[in-house]
Structure 1
Amino acid sequence: MSTFLKSQFIARWKLLWSSPLLGNVGRVADQRRKKTTLITMIRNEKGILEIFSAHALSLFDRIILVDHLSSDGSREYIKLLWEKYPNIECYFFDEPGYYQSELMTWVTQNLVDQEMPGWIFFLDVDEFLPFRSKEEFDRKLSELDSFPVISMPWLNLVPLDMESGDVISQFFLEPPQPSSYHKIAFQPSRISSTSYFIAQGNHALFLGTRSSKVKFPARDSFPIYHLPIRTKQQLRGKILHGVESYRRMGSDRRGKMGSHWDEIHQIMEASSLTNELMAGIAAQYGGTLHPPYERSLDELREAGYRELQMEISFLQPPVSFADIAYGHGNALIAEEGDSRGEIRTQTINRRIEFNRSKHSMQIVEHTTSHNSKQLLDARRSSLHLTL
C-alpha cells in the first residue's frame, strides 16, 4: 500500500511540473516579492545568539523565536528582541522532551497564514545563509519560486580558533563537498494538502500522517553555513542538553532520532576533548562517525578543505545581552504616588503548552507584575547615559 501511494504521488508530481498553468503562476508570482518567515528553536545559545539575530533581522520579514528551557539568558534576550523589533515574536516551550517536529509543524500551521504567498525557513542558531544582502536573498528565492519545497545542504565549517567562539571575524575550514544532510524551506500556499508535517531536525516535509507518509520532493538550492562546533564548553552543553532532551521523550522517541548526539556523547566520555577531536566531529557532523575520530587541521586541508571567512548579511548592532542587566525586557509602568520611587514591571510570557497524551499544543499567556526599585534605578542610569 505504501509503495502504491508513493508511486501515485510521484506520478501526480510529474504531471504538476509539466503543467503550463503552474509555470504561468510562477511567472506572475515573480512580479512581486514574497514575504519570508523564519522559525527558530533556541536553547542556551548565548555565545552565538546576538550575531544570529542580527543575521536573521537583515534577511527575514517575520521571525518567530521559540525558547526551549534556556538558562543562560537566551530567553531574556529574545524577549528584548520582541520588544524592540515589531517583526519578531517570541514564545516559550517548557516541555522537557525534544519535540521539535511537533513544535515546528504546529507553529507553521497555526501561526503562519497557509494561503498567503511566501516562504517559511527553519534555521538553528548555528546556521547562516550565504547571502550578503536581503536583495540577493530575495533574488535567489524568486528564481526558485515555482518549487514548493527547496533543500539546502549543510556546509559543516571547522573553526580555526576553537577558544573564542567568534563567528564574523573567524576563519573556518570549508569542506570540499556539502554534507548529505539538508534543511528545507517551503511555500505553504504551494502545498495542496493541509495534511503535512515537518520532520525532526527540519530536514524534510512529509505529506500524510506519521504512520502513513510520503516525502515531498525538494529542489536542490543553496547551501547553509553550519557551525555545530565552536568551543569545548559549547559542544559539551549542546550534546548534554540534546541527549537529556531525547531521553525525556521516553517511548515517543522514534527510530534513530538524535542518535548522532548519543554517539558524540559516548566518544566524548571515552576520550579527552581535544581540538583534533572537535575538528573530526565537526567534519563528520550529522552522520555516523567513523574512526579515527580525531583530525588535525592540516589533515583536513590535505583532504581538500580550504579556508573561508563567512560573508553574510547582518544588522549592526542588535540589542545586547548586556541590556538584560539593566532590567530591559520588561514593560515598565510607573505607579502614581509611589514615594519610594519604585515601579511596577509587567511581563507578558507566551507559552506553547504541549499535551503529551493527545500530542496537541496551545498558546497560554501569563502576565506577571512585581515592584522593583533597582529596576527603576537601572533604567534611570541607562537613560542618563543615553541622553
Structure 2
Amino acid sequence: MTEVTPLDLLSSARALKHRVFLARRDSERRTEAARLRSDPVFRAQYTAAENGLDVPPLQHHPGPWAIAMVRNEADVIETAVRHLVRQGVDNLLIVDNLSEDDTPQVLARLANEFPQLHVGTDNEPAYYQSAKMTRLADLVSAAGARWIIPFDADELWFAPHGRLVDALAASGTPVRRAHLYNLFPTLDGKQWRLDTARHFDDKVAFRPWEGAVVAMGNHEVSRPGSRDVDGLRILHMPWRSFEQFARKTRIGAAAVAKADLDDGEAYHWRWLGSASEDDLRRVWRRLLAGEAVASAAWYPRGTLRPIEGVPPLSWADVQRLLQAGSPGDDAPTR
C-alpha cells in the first residue's frame, strides 16, 4: 500500500481548490452570458443587427471560421483575407456595413476567387458592434464552426509558430487570447513601422458555445472555459493615411451617436469625431512622430522599427524585428 505523505495531501487539497475555483469562474461566465443575452438593450441591438443583415446561405464546414464587419476598408481587406487563407482559415463570413469606397467590389472579386468566402451586407448604421459580431458568431456556429476568429479588416492574425489553423486545432483551451502589436506609417506613407510595445488590450478567438457573447471590439467573449494567456498574435494597422484617419473618425463618431452607448464606450470615436480638421492634422502628426495621444486609442507606445516592404508574412519575421536594436532602445523613432 502506497503511503500518503503530508505533501501528497497538500497537493491534493490545492488541486481540489483549483477545480472549485475554475468551476465557480465558469458558473460566473455562464451567468454573465445569460445576463447579457437577456438584457433589453442588448436584445434590441441584436434584433436590429439581425434585421439589418443580409447574409447568403453558409456552407457547412466543421473547421475554423473568421468573421468580420467592415466599412471603407478597400485598402486593407484583400491583404487580411489573403493572409487568413494562407494561415489555413479559408472559411470566412464578412459583411459590409454601408461602405462608400470600393470595399464591396473588392469583396465580390475575392468571393469569386475563394468560394468559401461568404459576403453579406449590414444595413444597420448604428454602432452595435458587440451585437453584430455575436450574430455573425451565431451564424457560423450553426454552420459547424469549430473555432471562431472575430477579426477586423486592418488585422493580420498569426500563431507564434506555424500556421494559425494548426495552433487552433492543437489548442487545449476553448478561448485563445491574441496579443496585439500596432503598425504605423511614416509621415509620407511610404513605409510601415512596427511599435515594439505590445498593446494593452488583447483580442480573442474561441470555440463556439451556445449563448456566447462577443464583447465590444472583439477583446473578450462571455463563455465558460479557460483562457490561453499566451496564445496568438496580431499585427494591427489602425491608421494608414490622414484621409483614412479623418474619415474613419467621422464615420465612427456618427455610428456611436446612433447607438446611444454609455459614455465610457468608444470614447476615442467621440473625442476624435468632435475635433476640427486642424486638430485632427495635429493629432496625426503627433501620432506619426511617436507621441502618446491617449484619446486616439491607437498610438505608439514603444520603439518604432521600420519594416522593409510589405508587412511580414510570419510571426518569426515579426519576432526578429521585436528583438532587434540595442538594450534600452526604447525611445520612439521619428
State the TM-score, normalized to the length of structure 1: 0.58
Does the 8 Å contact 2:253/2:272 carry over to 1? no
CA drift at 1:240: 0.7
Change (3 A) 1:95 1:117: closer
2:295 is the alignment partner of 1:279 = no
**Counterpart in the other structure of 1:160:** 186
Give CA-to-partner distance per residue, 1:98-121, whole Å, 9 cap, x none. 11111111111133337x562110
CA drift at 1:136: 2.7
Distance in 1 (CA, whole Å) between partners of 2:108 and 2:66 is 16
CA drift at 1:14: 7.7
**Counterpart in the other structure of 2:139:** 110
2:279 is the alignment partner of 1:258 = no
**Counterpart in the other structure of 2:175:** 149
Structure 2 SS opposite 1:157: strand
Distance in 1 (CA, whole Å) between partners of 2:167 and 2:176 is 12
2:269 is the alignment partner of 1:241 = no
Distance in 2 (CA, whole Å) between partners of 1:276 and 1:50 is 27
Amino acid at match of 2:213: F
Does the 8 Å contact 1:101/1:199 carry over to 2? yes
Structure 2 SS opposite 1:54: helix
Distance in 2 (CA, whole Å) between partners of 1:304 and 1:119 is 34
Amino acid at match of 1:70: S
CA drift at 1:51: 1.9
CA drift at 1:235: 0.3
Distance in 2 (CA, whole Å) between partners of 1:222 and 1:98 is 27
Distance in 1 (CA, whole Å) between partners of 2:244 and 2:140 is 31
Does the 8 Å contact 2:186/2:192 carry over to 1? yes
Structure 2 SS opposite 1:98: coil
Change (3 A) 1:201 1:216: farther
Gaps of 5+ in 1: 1-6, 17-33, 165-169, 208-213, 314-387
CA drift at 1:132: 10
Structure 1 SS opposite 2:177: strand
Distance in 1 (CA, whole Å) between partners of 2:68 and 2:240 is 19
**Counterpart in the other structure of 2:128:** 99
Change (3 A) 1:218 1:270: farther
Amino acid at match of 2:23: R
2:198 is the alignment partner of 1:178 = yes
Structure 2 SS opposite 1:47: coil
Structure 2 SS opposite 1:155: strand
Structure 1 SS opposite 2:152: coil
CA drift at 1:8: 10
Q: How many residues align?
A: 259
Does the 8 Å contact 1:229/1:278 carry over to 2? no
Give CA-to-partner distance per residue, 1:85-108, whole Å, 9 cap, x none. 211001101011011111111111
Distance in 1 (CA, whole Å) between partners of 2:145 and 2:93 is 18
Distance in 2 (CA, whole Å) between partners of 1:195 and 1:120 is 14
Distance in 1 (CA, whole Å) between partners of 2:82 and 2:90 is 13
Q: How high is the sequence identity, in percent, across the aligned residues?
A: 22
Distance in 1 (CA, whole Å) between partners of 2:225 and 2:130 is 14
1:36 aligned to which of 64, 74, 92: 64
**Counterpart in the other structure of 1:187:** 207
What is the correspondence of 1:68-87 to structure 2 with a 5 Å cutoff?
Answer: 68-87=97-116
2:163 aligned to which of 136, 143, 150: 136
Amino acid at match of 2:247: G
Once the two structures are overlaid, the 10-residue window that deviates more, 124-133 or 90-99, is 124-133
Does the 8 Å contact 1:132/1:312 carry over to 2? no
Distance in 2 (CA, whole Å) between partners of 1:224 and 1:294 is 16
Distance in 2 (CA, whole Å) between partners of 1:239 and 1:187 is 32
CA drift at 1:124: 0.7
